[in-house]
Amino acid sequence: MPASKIRAEAVLMPDLIIRGGTLVTMDPGRRVLQDAEIAVEDGIITSVGKSGDYNKSKASEVMDAKGKLILPGLIDTHVHLAQALIRGTADDLSLVDWLQHRIWPLQGSYTESDGLLSAQLCVLEMLKSGTTTFLESGLHRRYGNEAIAAMVEKSGIRGILSKMIMDSGGYGGRSGIMHPGMVEDKDACISEAVDLFKRWNGRSRGRIGVWLAARSLGGVSPSLYREIGRLAGELGTGITMHLNEVPEDSRFSMTNYGMRPVHFAKSVGLLDQRTVFAHMVWATDEEISILGTARSNVAHCPASNSKLASGTARVPELIASGVNVGLGCDGAPCNNTYDMFREMRLVPLFQRKRLMTHGAIDPYTVLEMATMGGARALGLQDKVGSIEVGKRADIVILGCERPAYTPSIDPVSTVVYTATGNDVDTVIADGLTVVKDHKVLTLNEEKILTDARHTIPKILERAGIGGVSDLLRN
Ligand SMILES: [Zn+2]
């Protein structure tokens, strides 16, 4: 980055003090501070303590957080930027039919401006609901990824963009079912991934990252999986991949490779790299043990797994075996929000129902999944995930005016069981205020929402999905 640009950014960084409120630090001491104070200089947290600790004359801005809840910015470890625009278009299908008959035809009919608009809508929703870092699950060339990366940079959010890599248009044993608009050539995928990495990885003081996204089983040959692993190692970057999401994954793996999905992933080298496996619903005890030994990362997506009728991931068992578990909202058509607070709430509800014990998982562990768990998965644990001196200032402030916040006995329990993204009133990302009084300052919300409403009927038309377009016209 040229020196002039670094200076320009530094000038934009206000010195900031956040004063008052209840601070859930998520630091190793699990500190929760009442009447707290946080000082931020040049995007870095320089002081965390009690109100009045810091020399106020140093701050150009003092933010009053009295009566509010302060948290680290949330980290979504499984996001499809391109799916925000097709929210509500595939509400009642299970995974493979959902992909084949709705998601792929719709995304395969996108123009570059549709891809950018969807990404804008997604980032807008994430920022407004307190997500300050995300891992994208797999970008297609047709989305216009250069413009998406520039938008992510401008929005102020911290994002890892992953380019999808494939050499087949199938899912599991159902070969050739992918919409032609979504099928990409292997060499073109790799060259775009490397180009994106060279241009964008590490930009904006490390706020933008670029990883590789391996398509699911049936979409990538074993030799290409090995190549993806080698390339990630050479670039020093990460990989993300959907795995063990539905029983079709293990059926395909057993039939074609004579082993279960995690054994296969290990055999092609994916456990040797920083890989975030999304879902992992159907992992057996042995697979969980292999993932634990490898200290692998799993993105748990409870809303998506339930809405698509995929099953319930064995989260307490994964954590007990040593797997690092983060949380993911997945995509709008399988959720239908990118609200990490709503996602957190589902984790203890589903796990306690599944195991029929309140001891299945506690709220602190759930909030840890959405903060430090996500940071560890992305290799950002020294930068974000908690409010500690020396870390980047990614901070969320929740208003607590709703009746549902009264009384609030335990702030962590309140965050997990009560809060929604609509309660977020302020978001600071990398030291800059990007949401204030519920308004995103870095994106044009009104224009994005208007454009989205006008654009979706055209996409449905191009994709030839009559049922939903008829609904929209009525
Ligand atoms: Zn996904």
Q: What is the DSSP string of 364-394?
A: HHHHHIIIIIHHHHTT-TTTSSS--TTSB--
Query: Taking 60 as the threshold, does the pLDDT of residue 5 lie above it?
Result: no
Ordered DSSP codes for 415-470: HHHT--GGGEEEEEETTEEEEETTEESSS-HHHHHHHHHHHHHHHHHHHT-HHHHH
Summarize pLDDT for 242-271 with one digit per residue, the tens: 999 999 999 999 999 999 999 999 999 999
For ligand 1, the distance from its centroid to the CA atom of residue 80, given in whole angstroms, is 6
For ligand 1, the distance from its centroid to the CA atom of residue 322, given in whole angstroms, is 23
**pLDDT band at 56, cuts 50/70/90?**
low
Query: Taking 70 as the threshold, does the pLDDT of residue 52 lie above it?
Result: yes
Q: How many other CB atoms are there within 10 angstroms of residue 407's CB atom? A: 5
Rounded Cα gap, residues 76 and 366, in angstroms: 13
For ligand 1, the distance from its centroid to the CA atom of residue 343, given in whole angstroms, is 14
For ligand 1, the distance from its centroid to the CA atom of residue 38, given in whole angstroms, is 35
pLDDT recorded at residue 59: 74
Helix H or strand E segment including 96? helix 95-98
Beta bridge partners of 75: 133
Helix (H, G, I), strand (E, B) or coil at 132: strand
For ligand 1, the distance from its centroid to the CA atom of residue 79, given in whole angstroms, is 7
Q: Which residues contact 291 (CB under 8 A, 6 or more apart)?
A: 262, 271, 277, 280, 283, 298, 318, 321, 323
CA atoms within 13 A on the CB side of 22: 14
For ligand 1, the distance from its centroid to the CA atom of residue 266, given in whole angstroms, is 21
Summarize pLDDT for 89-126 with one digit per residue, the tens: 988 888 999 999 999 999 999 999 999 999 999 999 99
**pLDDT band at 180, cuts 50/70/90?**
very high
For ligand 1, the distance from its centroid to the CA atom of residue 434, given in whole angstroms, is 26
For ligand 1, the distance from its centroid to the CA atom of residue 240, given in whole angstroms, is 10
For ligand 1, the distance from its centroid to the CA atom of residue 94, given in whole angstroms, is 13
Summarize pLDDT for 444-454 with one digit per residue, the tens: 999 999 999 99
Q: Which residues contact 208 (CB under 8 A, 6 or more apart)?
A: 149, 152, 153, 158, 159, 160, 161, 200, 201, 202
Rounded Cα gap, residues 66 and 35, in angstroms: 7
Q: Which residues contact 153 (CB under 8 A, 6 or more apart)?
A: 203, 204, 207, 208
For ligand 1, the distance from its centroid to the CA atom of residue 249, given in whole angstroms, is 14
Ordered DSSP codes for 16-72: EEEESSEEE---TT--EESSEEEEEETTEEEEEEETT-S-GGG-SEEEE-TT-EEEE
Rounded Cα gap, residues 61 and 15, in angstroms: 6
What's the CA angle centered on 294, arms 292 and 298, to 5 degrees? 60
For ligand 1, the distance from its centroid to the CA atom of residue 17, given in whole angstroms, is 38
For ligand 1, the distance from its centroid to the CA atom of residue 108, given in whole angstroms, is 16
pLDDT recorded at residue 7: 40
Domain with CATH 3.20.20.140 in the chain: 74-377
For ligand 1, the distance from its centroid to the CA atom of residue 329, given in whole angstroms, is 9
- Per the CB < 8 A criterion, the answer to whether 80 and 331 are in contact is yes
Query: Taking 50 as the threshold, does the pLDDT of residue 2 lie above it?
Result: no
For ligand 1, the distance from its centroid to the CA atom of residue 194, given in whole angstroms, is 22
For ligand 1, the distance from its centroid to the CA atom of residue 165, given in whole angstroms, is 14
- Secondary-structure breakdown of the chain: helix, strand, coil percentages, each rounded to the nearest 5: 45, 20, 35
Pick the CATH number of 3-72+388-440 from 3.30.930.10, 2.60.120.560, 2.30.40.10, 1.10.287.370: 2.30.40.10
For ligand 1, the distance from its centroid to the CA atom of residue 330, given in whole angstroms, is 5
Alpha-carbon dihedral sign for residues 354, 357, 360, 362: positive
For ligand 1, the distance from its centroid to the CA atom of residue 83, given in whole angstroms, is 10
359 φ/ψ angles, rounded to the nearest 5 degrees: -80, 0
For ligand 1, the distance from its centroid to the CA atom of residue 432, given in whole angstroms, is 29
Domain with CATH 2.30.40.10 in the chain: 3-72+388-440
For ligand 1, the distance from its centroid to the CA atom of residue 58, given in whole angstroms, is 45
pLDDT recorded at residue 13: 40
The second-level CATH assignment, the architecture, of 74-377 is Alpha-Beta Barrel (3.20)
Q: What is the mean pLDDT of residues 63-86?
A: 97
